[in-house]
Structure 1
């Protein structure tokens, strides 16, 4: 059916308007100058041209060469390669399949892309890897992140190249891993009880790239953990040794060094924990720190606990008590009198003034150092008493227990109550009988 001057319609087609043409099977052309040659297509408005099959246009000055496409608006073009694409708006030109445009002057350059809003450009296609916060790159390798790679064209709400940006408002909180999240969800996921104040000046580790070692952790401005398993906490803290920890501003770790034992006065003492795998540093050379509020560590032959100051104080007190006792020395007396203090380090010399005693000390290395006392083989004394006998400088006298003394002197022999033979008195029998004279 054709209605209008110069209108033309084939069988089962409709053309309404001046110079309206509906030459496609079952096509519709309503409006001045519309040219619809695609089968099953339709145009409302003028003048519009449709050559694609199954396509429709509602508006003026549109051109559709694509099959199964549609336009609502004016001055739009859908090229023959834009099969299945749709446009709502004005002044749009699309030549890719299955695209969707809503807005004026927008464009979709990738299949299945979607441009929403005036000037929006959808130019990101399928197969794009998303940003991986673990590696700080778009590698799409994190198994813990769902949908790490796009499978169809992107949705654009602006144009980064032209500086066109839009907020998406009224977004409900996402549920699934691949859902969009809203600001309320981001606020709820904000890290609590953790704060780094850089004073407005961005420093190293701002992009969370300070932990370059495997399984390492770096927290703080300019903090770095470059070795595997290392941890650095604080401004400028640097953990460059594996499995080591740097705590505090500008703290730096060092290579672990094992200490197996120590020797004191010839005795070797072995230690526990002689093979450290890392170090914990709270400072650096010239920038040392005290470690306070340390609980008392266990003290045993196998303990590897830290020791605090109070434990060292107790040890020092015990040593001081021993030192005080040892420092008093000892007293040397002679038969309980004339005591003299012998202080540590003093020398006591034992000697015999008259030569009657022989004093000796065993000084052989590694043996007990005994002092021995013995009589000299030749002694000189003023008097010797044994029982009732007395030998002195005047001679020998023997008491019979009843007061009768027999003596031998340099003058001679005198027998108590008996004879005597002396140089001064000669032989005196003292009225005693001399018998058995030969």
Structure 2
């Protein structure tokens, strides 16, 4: 049916043709191949099979797609959709607003994300991923290592095969994992969990769990992100090698090799290599020392001779029966904190503990002047 114009109505809008053998519609639009389509103000479709729809969009390579406003799809099979996105890598995708996908097969989705490495993924707000095969999910995360993953807000990763979950964490340890808030991992294969916890860069295979817990460092100094290449580097205060150590609990800390601190403010000091501190405030301060229980302190080193009651002096024997070969086990601190050891069976060997029943057996006997023993 023929439609007649309504008296006084505006004339139907017309789109001026663009340039090229393809489909080009809009002012200054251009489609330079028969298989291309450019629709919109200054839309450009240059590669074979390219599609540009919207004002100032440019699809500049084969099978490239630019949809929206001010998007650029510069390489083969790239896709830029939204506002101001730039898909610069082959097979890359930039979707949303002001995202950049530079690496081959990279994906940037959201707002102001940058997927700069090959096969990288940046999802959310203002994430920057430089390392190949790495992924950032959330906001303001930065990754320079390869095959690394950040989930959350403002996390920074500068190492390979690293994982970080939470907020404002820093991970520069190879294969290290950080889960928490404001925590740091510098050591290889470290695990850090909690708030404001840290493993120093020289401490490998360390585990830290708990607020303010530390292994191999007195605290974090600073993190630096190179604005050009995205490299993430970290510095720590008071670093020592505390490889293979574990600190679990509020402000628990280990500053020696192979140490274990378990409990609130439990500690293994610099002199406490292989030391163990179990309990709130327990402290192993001598090599191989064991501090067991709240406020216990193990500070007696190996090599201290035991008292020989028969001689009335320290033993001169140089064996493990009379002279300790390892640091002491302490269940107190010798200055107000003492404990009984209960439920101890009678000892049988020279190096076994003696219980009270055995001592009573000795005290119940006496020696006559003629040398006969009676009970």
TM-score by length of 1: 0.42
Q: Which has more strand, going by share of residues?
A: 2
Rg comparison, structure with higher value = 1
Higher relative contact order (CA 8 A, sep 6+): 2
